[in-house]
Amino acid sequence: MRLHRRLFGLVALVCLHGLAAHAGGLRSLVVLPLEPGGIVARLQVVGSSSPNNMTVTGTVLYGLTTRQTLIISVPYRDLESGDDGFGYVTGLYRRTIFQHDAPGATRRIAVIGGLRVPTDNNLDPQMGAGLVATMYKQRSEWDFDLLWMEGLGRSGDSARYDVSWQYRLTPSEYPEWGIPTEWQSVVELGGRYAEGSEMVHQLTFGALWVHPSWVFEAGIIQDLNGPDATSFLLGMRKHF
């Protein structure tokens, strides 16, 4: 039994590097407005039974100005092996460089850049940059993000991409006045790359319950190659 647990732990450790880049998904990076001084806190749990692990990621977005946002993200990993702990602390700066608004629609592009600092002494930081785009029209929202993180010293490179489509299920038509709550469906194609292993592509199906100051989200993530893992995702966001 003990040997079994150790083997299981080894498998989990092998997957650890991939997990560091795994956090996120379900439209994690979008270019929607956050007012100066505004704060959005996000808590996301991604769990998998094979290997048995769970990652809890806390993220805080802070509006520096109308077009500039600071994103701080801290994942906590709970592995079957017992090697629990914090992974990389990620600090990203997002600047909107293009915005075109229309009645009930928007197109926005932002650049992002920042650092991933390990809490583990055996690793070195990563620094990187990327691009995020959001389009919204009628009942559909499309989000695209691409992020490359260059490993410094002993850390390898990593990268991720996400293409997400959300569709407003209810209400089919907005009320004349007032901000309603919404149900949205989400389909997302993403990819996670860590140096030394192939890019793992993932497909996510999920749903969002959107309240004016709260969002609750849930999804199922299926690897399309590589580990072939199926994960679940639960999350919430609060706008302060």
Partner 1 sequence: MMRQLIIVAALVFATASAFGADETVLEIDIDGMTCPFCVYSLERELGKLSEVQQVMISLKSHKARLILKEGASVDSETLREVVLTAGFTPGEVRDVSDGS
Check binding of 136 to partner 1 (CB under 8 A): yes
Check binding of 181 to partner 1 (CB under 8 A): yes
Stretch binding partner 1 (CB under 8 A), from 16-24, 169-177, 195-203, 227-235: 169-177
Are the beta carbons of 96 and 79 closer than 8 angstroms?
no
Check binding of 38 to partner 1 (CB under 8 A): yes
Stretch binding partner 1 (CB under 8 A), from 35-43, 54-62, 111-119, 152-160: 35-43
Query: Tokens 């009628």, residue?
Result: 138
For CA atoms 228, 160, 207, 104, give the dihedral sign: negative
Check binding of 64 to partner 1 (CB under 8 A): no
Are the beta carbons of 204 and 233 closer than 8 angstroms?
yes
Check binding of 105 to partner 1 (CB under 8 A): yes
- Report CA-CA distances (Å) from 24 to 39, 90, 138, 146, 233: 18, 12, 26, 12, 9
The DSSP H or E segment spanning 14 is helix 2-14
Among 174, 185, 222, 225, binds partner 1 (CB under 8 A): 174
User: Contact residues for partner 1 (CB under 8 A)?
Assistant: 32-36, 38, 66-67, 99, 101-106, 136, 141, 168, 173-182, 210-213, 215, 237, 239
